[in-house]
């Protein structure tokens, strides 16, 4: 069920590839339900990076790309001022997988692009290049790094994943990739995404205080 695209599949110029699914048919979902325990239990979505909360940085990327944008979270109230629908977790445990489940259950499109609320430097170019590889029968489309790591939190999921995710959550298994063998997965090598994000800074997450300090320094220096 897994497909890794080869250089021949990708082509010399990935901008020439046209997505089989238009962006309007894909919902943009921001995962914002984490506890942020490694950051002192703060709401990471609202951490200030370069004068803007991370979630506003993400929305600046999402809004020009996706006709529908929603937030997956434990509570709706903290996000009320953003004027966006909030998909509430349907499982008690907090995890990225519960957020993916909530987002898939709430969206009206067949596919959704998911990124975490602690990724302050997500690049629109990388997102668009990943979306260009999505085909209607794909269930998961995600970057494949050079070390073999699959990036599940900068990825596209289909609603067909819902029953598999629900079953996994009911069994107390929160590891995202553990249901992948049950669905059709397309792995996109990061080489195909680099033209849209040469430094692959989209994958930088603010998980710890030192990550926050680095992100703020980068923003202050005007690097991103």
Q: How many domains does the chain have?
A: 1
Taking each helix axis as running N to C, give the angle between helix 96-106 and helix 162-170, from 0 to 180 degrees, rounded to the nearest 10: 140
Q: What does the pLDDT read at residue 100? A: 97
Specify if 196 maps to a domain.
Answer: yes
86-88 sheet: strands from edge to edge: 2-4, 185-189, 140-144, 154-158, 111-116, 26-31, 69-73, 86-88
Specify if 9 maps to a domain.
Answer: no
Specify if 14 maps to a domain.
Answer: no
In terms of Cβ atoms closer than 10 Å to its own Cβ (0-12, 13-18, 19+), residue 22 is: exposed
Specify if 17 maps to a domain.
Answer: no
* Nearest partner of 69 among 53, 43, 87, 45, judged by Cα: 87
DSSP letter at 10 equals: H
Specify if 212 maps to a domain.
Answer: yes
Q: Rounded to two decimals, what is the model's pTM?
A: 0.89
Specify if 11 maps to a domain.
Answer: no
pLDDT per position as a tens digit, 180-204? 999 999 999 999 999 999 999 999 9
Helix, strand, coil share of the chain (percent; to 5):
40, 20, 40
- Give the domain extent around 98: 24-218
Q: Report the pLDDT averaged over residues 112-129.
A: 97
* Dmax (CA) of the chain: 48
For residues 194 and 200, is the Cβ–Cβ distance under 8 A?
yes
For residues 110 and 131, is the Cβ–Cβ distance under 8 A?
no
């Amino acid at each position: 069920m897994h497909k890794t695209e080869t250089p021949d599949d990708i082509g010399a110029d990935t901008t020439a590839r046209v997505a089989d699914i238009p962006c309007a048919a894909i919902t943009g979902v921001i995962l914002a339900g984490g506890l942020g325990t490694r950051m002192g239990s703060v709401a990471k979505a609202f951490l200030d990076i370069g004068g803007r909360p991370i979630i506003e940085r993400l929305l600046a990327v999402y809004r020009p790309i996706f006709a529908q944008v929603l937030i997956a979270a434990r509570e709706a109230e903290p996000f009320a001022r953003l004027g966006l629908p909030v998909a509430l977790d349907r499982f008690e445990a907090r995890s990225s997988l519960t957020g993916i489940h909530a987002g898939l259950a709430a969206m009206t499109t067949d596919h959704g692009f998911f990124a975490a609320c602690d990724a302050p430097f997500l690049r629109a170019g990388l997102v668009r290049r990943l979306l260009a590889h999505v085909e209607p029968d794909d269930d998961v489309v995600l970057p494949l790094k050079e070390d073999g790591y699959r990036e599940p939190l900068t990825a596209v999921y289909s609603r067909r994943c819902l029953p598999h995710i629900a079953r996994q959550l009911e069994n107390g298994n929160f590891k995202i990739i553990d249901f992948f063998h049950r669905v059709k997965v397309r792995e996109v090598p990061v080489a195909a995404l680099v033209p849209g994000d040469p430094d692959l800074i989209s994958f930088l997450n603010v998980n710890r205080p030192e990550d926050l300090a680095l992100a703020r320094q980068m923003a202050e220096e005007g690097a991103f």
